Chain A
Amino acid sequence: MPTSEHGTTLRRRTVLTGGAVVGLGALTGCAGLTERVSSTSRGARDRLTVQVYGTDTETGIYQQLADRFAQEQGVTVDLTVVPFADFATGIDAGLISGTAPDVFRVDYPTMGLYSSTGQLLDVTEALGDLADDVPAALMAAVAHGDRSFGIPQHVDTSAVVVRPDLLRDAGITSVPDRLEDAWSWEEFADVADRLSQAAPDGTTPFGVNWQAAGAFRWLNFLFQAGGHLYDTDLSRAVVDDDAGRRALDFTASFFERGWVPDSTSTKSATYPDALFTSGKLAMLFAGNFLLPAFADTIGKRFEYAATYLPQDQRQASELGGNAIVASRQAVNADLAAEFLVFLASPEAMGDFCSASVLLPTRASLVERGLDFALGRDLMPVYADQIRTIEDRDVADVTTPTFAEVNVDLANELEETFLGGRPVDDTLRRLSEQVTAGASLNRASTA
């Protein structure tokens, strides 16, 4: 190494200059340090960015519809598919940082958060015709106040999928085939008891689809018992009443009497449809969106049919499904609104729902009847079941904080289902949390 001062200085200068040049080049070339990096991105005047989640069938038909719209309008539509579990985190970050996709899919329980906090494009005028063809309860799912912030693209609900072979073995030769003849809770309990006695080793009478984000499906039992989560003006909880007690007593008995596997509680990391397809359950409370998966995985190994959810004081089923909304920050808001209008058209909605085996929200499509790609014999049960959803049921599950209440349901119900906590304690805790949510709802709306 040179020891002269001159030599050292030159060497250092060279190093510093070279380093600066290299560093500048690296910084310029590194997008992560020079521009915003996000998993979501906004579109442009002639380019829409769209984010969806769903099964392969659903995302495939979304791509077809996006291509069709792009061709008709002479624009580009960039469709991104994300897992359902990740969609909200990405959308939240995008909305906060101004990089949210122009259009995205959102489930009804999360819809209230975005619409109540002014994150979505108001499409009331653009979708004026849609409201004439969609039941008011379903339009309410995408509304905040008297304004609409998206299209209720489809609805899902649950029915009881049964294995006739195992039911026959238990001496049950038929299941209700009309909505009004649905089993009462007592009849359903009797069926479960008979299945318990007759089912082969390793088989459990049934499973309920209330795991994780599906915890709100417990509300089916609450509604059936004549109860509700909130009072009529959504200002406080009313779950801690006789109906709530009856619903929780009944559902807790599923675990106490061994009618359902313990691993199918509300916080379980696994879903019971895998148990049904592997032949471990005689019956399953299952959403219609699972029918394509059943067709694939069950094949001809055993036959299965569908019947209605049991009833108590009334009939009820959940408002599942998804809406399509546009971000208020969309670069070309008109184009985003046009895409929503396109997806809400009878043709596009019909194509999407028939291919994906989902129920359309347009009454005209329901009346006409769709040619479903699969499960043609089972879908009429779901179509009937959806008619049991009432306006107040929808209001309960579309509050701004319902996604949070949904987590509270999963946490608290499991304490009784698996932890043996008294029903009254769980209802009291739920009531406190729902009322706290109601306060936040009022604050967010104010």
Chain B
Amino acid sequence: MSTVEARPRQRHGQRQGPRRDPRQHRGSSVTAWVMLAPNLLLLGLFLLVPLVWAFVLSFQAKRSFGGGTWAGLDNYTRLLRDDVFWRALLNTAVFTAITVPVTVVAGLALALLLDKALPGRGVFRTIVYLPIVVSTLVTSLIGLLLFDESIGIVNGVLADLGLGAVSWQSEGSLAMVSVIVMVLWTRIGFAMVVYIAALQDLDQEVLEAASVDGAGKWARVRLIVVPSLRPTTMFLLVVNMVWSFQIFDIVYVMTNGGPGYSTTMLVTYAYDEGFGPARNFGYGSTVGVVLFVLTLLITALQVRSSRKQDG
């Protein structure tokens, strides 16, 4: 295994190497800013401005037409008493708690399986990855076709097998299952590809040495492969958690948040309030702000935890 020597930390005020010409330094800075400017401009315009605007709107009573009026904490007070918001938060948490670990574990399992020299490995990889390149709208419509309670393919197959119909659309927990299945179908392929790329970088000599020392397949995976893939796992956890908190399209098309509020998620609720018939921009923004803060907190906690583990 290659090792990297730790570079001594530079003391405050201590300069290293030949002193740079100030004019050259200033010129490099200007070049850097010019290069960064287009991205910074776009980020500011399409990310920061809407973000700040959403914060401002969350303190206003604002509907689609006419000016907003200052509402103080009214929207946040309503949020705390809003049963649908708490239901949406719970649904999002449950959805995230199921989809994220299953995606990561299944992605790793498939990557380990398809990293071997199997016949038709490319074909299998493509099949697993294919849902990623399909529009989520198409995926959602496929989900609708599969899980329609009356004329869906799944219940059709169950009927052919002599089994009863399953209430995919009218039973809350089953509706959630149908959404989770379709989301996993779109995400596992991505996790698999990322893990396969990371597996290519593993030091094969270490794995061979472990084999020589008598470590079995499961021991090698558990004690060498999984720890070595920690940065990749961390990346997948963060990305999938953010995606899960932002789930919208598949829910919107497949269940419309129902039955009742069984599959209503934070983003679908924010959308319904802000852009649905209510057109309540103020309250919709409030739900969005809460979602933003939650996502930020969870991501920060994960990054911090990862840094601690890395020592």
Contact = CB atoms under 8 A, between A and B. Distances in A.
Interface stretch (A50-58, A123-131, A267-275): A267-275
A212 B27 CA distance: 61
A89 B275 contact: yes
Interface string B248-281: 0000011111111100000000001001111100
A262 B168 CA distance: 10
A411 B151 CA distance: 24
A73 interface: no
B34 A19 contact: yes
Interface string B160-182: 00000001011000000000000
B211 interface: no
A298 interface: no
Interface stretch (B90-98, B117-125, B142-150, B232-240): B142-150
Nearest to B66: A117
Given A12-B27, A15-B31, A269-B144, A92 B259 contact: no
B144 A407 contact: no
A414 B279 contact: no
B53 interface: no
A140 B170 CA distance: 38
Contact of A92 (B31, B64, B66): B64
Nearest to A109: B277
Given A16-B31, A117-B65, A261-B150, A267 B257 contact: yes
A407 B27 CA distance: 59
Contacts of B150: 261, 263, 275, 280
Contact of B260 (A19, A88, A403, A419): A419
A95 B66 CA distance: 11
Contacts of A404: 277-279
A280 B165 CA distance: 14
Interface in A392-420: 403-404, 406-407, 411, 414-415, 418-419
A254 B32 CA distance: 69
Contacts of A23: 38
B45 to A, nearest CB: 9
B21 interface: yes
A267 B259 contact: yes
A212 B148 CA distance: 16
A31 interface: no
Contact of B258 (A95, A117, A268): A268
B34 A270 contact: no
B287 to A, nearest CB: 15
B70 to A, nearest CB: 16
A57 B91 CA distance: 41
B24 interface: yes
Interface residues of B, number: 35
Contact of B169 (A8, A89, A202, A263): A263
Contact count band on A: 35 or more
Contact of B170 (A8, A12, A406, A418): A418
A8 B256 contact: no
B27 A269 contact: no
Contacts of A406: 277
Q: Is the interface of A mostly helix, strand, loop or mixed?
A: helix
A265 B34 contact: no
Nearest to A281: B150
A119 interface: yes
Contacts of B30: 16
Given A12-B27, A419-B259, A265 B148 contact: no
B278 A268 contact: no
A1 interface: no
Given A262-B149, A270-B169, A407-B276, A418 B66 contact: no
B274 to A, nearest CB: 10
B25 to A, nearest CB: 12
A277 B65 CA distance: 41
A278 interface: yes
A37 interface: no
A328 to B, nearest CB: 11
A118 B65 CA distance: 9
Contacts of B34: 16, 19-20
B279 A262 contact: no
Contacts of A20: 34
B256 A261 contact: no
B278 A269 contact: no
B279 A270 contact: no
Contacts of B258: 265, 267-269, 414, 418
Contact of A5 (B21, B148, B254, B276): B21
Contacts of A275: 150-151
Nearest to B38: A23
A407 B151 CA distance: 26
Contacts of A16: 30-31, 34
Interface string B126-156: 0000000000000000001000111100000
Interface of B: 21, 24, 27, 30-31, 34-35, 38, 64-66, 144, 148-151, 159, 167, 169-170, 253-261, 272, 275-279
7 contacts: A92-B279, A117-B66, A262-B167, A267-B258, A404-B277, A407-B278, A414-B260
Report the 9 A-B pairs with minimum CB-CB distance, sorted nearest first: A262-B170, A403-B277, A267-B258, A263-B149, A117-B65, A263-B169, A269-B256, A404-B278, A418-B259
Interface of A: 5, 8-9, 12, 15-16, 19-20, 23, 88-89, 92, 95-96, 110, 113, 117-119, 202, 212, 261-263, 265, 267-270, 274-275, 278, 280, 403-404, 406-407, 411, 414-415, 418-419
